[in-house]
Structure 1
């Protein structure tokens, strides 16, 4: 198993991509802290992991709350003795053209993605430095590389995560901490499902057209990226044995974006 006895914390892991990664990490032998704003979702993910023989704990965490993040990381360390892998995955989306975008909606998206990632990073690095190494991971997006209309706060936040990832790679090197960012294409999670009718209304096209002509238009095969695709990459990055792979953005998008 590639992550045997590694201690991992994943934010936004009660559902969607975060949960898929949590379940895969557990199958690879990691002890997994499922952090989520919603306790019921976190508990459900933990129960699913435990039902298949894995080890997991639930952590209620609002990633925009400094004290909650610090306390959540501390609870993992107190329970299992350290932290080896941290993945800033929690995210939200908002669909609006820039000229109609409320400042409160702009701030909310950036707060969850960027400030939440910073707070987790700061708390996690303190533990990893003491432990003598670790893997700091971020959930970016193809939108870390290029823009789409109607998603300006999300695009801005995902671009910002590139900078944070690279800064951590530079600073963490002397402490044997690597830092990488996963950049998926569209994965058919509840977050994406919600966008389909929203974009259809804003663009004045059908939902099928949103899928075909917006979300999957530039893929090589007209396919959504899957949860398994992203989870496999997340394991690979967490398990990579050296700093030869650090400060990198890895795109998993069926060719939607090539770099």
Structure 2
């Protein structure tokens, strides 16, 4: 198993991509911390992972924008399993609105979850990785929108671009301690977050939801297919298990050819 003996903290892991990554990590032998704003959902996810894979999983209630909650959650997981080896900073939201109609509150809310959350969880887990001397891997959930832009997504595109810069700094500062950092950049994944966007974009663009899928979301893929949570989780396992700094400070696009570097 590729992650045997590793301890992973995954934020936003009670559902969607985060949960799929947690399942794949557990299948590969990792002990997983399911961190989520919804503690009840995190507990359900942790129990399902223990039942399905017989591994170790613990639910952690965490608002990633709350410094106290992040510090406490990281400390709890590190104490429970003797350190943390992998962070997957996955928690995020989406807001669909034209830039000229976007409120400052909406802008700050999205950036706080994506960027403040990434910073706080990174700082806490890096400190633990340095303390244990084991090094580790930090993975950020970016997006094709870390490289591209779309209408109606100003704060999201800004945040996802920002994660590239954070990963590069972590790769530089973490190298001396054996800490690597990379960014996963999926295309459109059919999760509740994307399903929520369909009527919003259809309304804003004046087209049907099916036309949003066909002419907006998947028009530049090579096969007209959504990226799947399984696609993303497989790449996350690969990067979490990669043993050297040959892969650090990089972004890996998982998009059925939508974005090609």
Aligned to 2:239: 237
1:5 corresponds in structure 2 to 5
1:54: Cα distance to partner? 1.8
RMSD: 0.5
Counterpart Cα distance in 2 of 1:229 and 1:54: 22
Secondary structure of the corresponding residue to residue 63 of structure 2: coil
- Please give the per-residue CA displacement for 1:7-53, whole angstroms capped at 9, x wherever unaligned: 00000000000000001100000000000000111011101101111
Instruction: Describe how 1:93-172 pairs up with structure 2 within 5 A.
Output: 93-132=94-133, 133-172=135-174
Whole-angstrom distance in 2 between the partners of 1:24 and 1:84:
16
Alignment of 1:1-259 (within 5 A): 1-52=1-52, 53-132=54-133, 133-259=135-261
- Distance in 2 between residues matched to 1:195 and 1:253, nearest whole Å: 18
Q: CA deviation at 1:5?
A: 1.0
TM-aligned CA deviation for residue 166 of structure 1? 0.4
Specify the SS of the correspondent of 1:114. helix
SS at match of 1:238: helix
Which whole-Å CA distance do the structure 2 matches of 1:207 and 1:219 have between them?
18
- The separation in 1 between residues aligned to 2:175 and 2:132, in whole angstroms, is 14
Partner-residue secondary structure (3-state), 1:230: helix
Distance 1:166 1:155 in 2: 18
Gaps of 5+ in 1: none
Question: What TM-score, normalized to structure 2?
Answer: 0.99
Unmatched segments (≥5 aa) in structure 2: none
| SS of alignment partner, residue 93 of structure 1 | coil
SS at match of 1:224: coil
Q: Per-residue CA shift, 1:62-100, capped at 9, x if unaligned? A: 000000000000000111110000011000000000000
Q: Runs of at least 4 residues of structure 1 off by over 3 A? A: none
TM-score (norm 1): 0.99
The SS at the match of 2:224 is coil
Residue 139 of structure 1, CA deviation: 0.3
SS of residue paired to 1:167: helix
